[in-house]
């Protein structure tokens, strides 16, 4: 099992990547965000590196 430091290092490296390749998650982010308006609470499960979580935090109160 990887240590916390190893996982943190990997996530930090991923976050620095400029070249985002297409994947089904990134493709649907805009559609998901379009239908959300004035959301009270939002929970994302399996958030990966937190890209969508960050965007959802801007659309919801909690």
Residue 6 lies in a domain: no
| 49, 55 contact by CB (below 8 A) | no
| Terminal CA-CA length for the chain | 32
Residue 27 lies in a domain: no
pTM for the complete prediction? Answer: 0.55
Residue 21 lies in a domain: no
pLDDT at 53: 87
pLDDT at 19: 65
How far, in Å, CA of 49 to CA of 25, rounded?
12
**44: number of Cβ within 10 Å:** 15
Residue 47 lies in a domain: yes
Per-residue pLDDT of the chain (62 residues; tens, 9 = 90+): 678 888 888 888 877 776 667 777 777 888 888 888 888 998 888 877 788 888 888 888 88
pLDDT at 1: 66
Q: How many domains does the chain have?
A: 1
Residue 61 lies in a domain: yes
């Amino acid at each position: 099992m990887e240590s916390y430091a190893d996982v943190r290092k990997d996530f930090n490296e991923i976050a620095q990547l400029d070249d985002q390749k297409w994947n089904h998650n990134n493709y649907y982010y805009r559609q998901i965000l379009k239908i959300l308006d004035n959301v009270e609470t939002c929970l994302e499960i399996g958030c990966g590196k937190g890209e969508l979580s960050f965007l959802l935090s801007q659309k919801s109160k909690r």
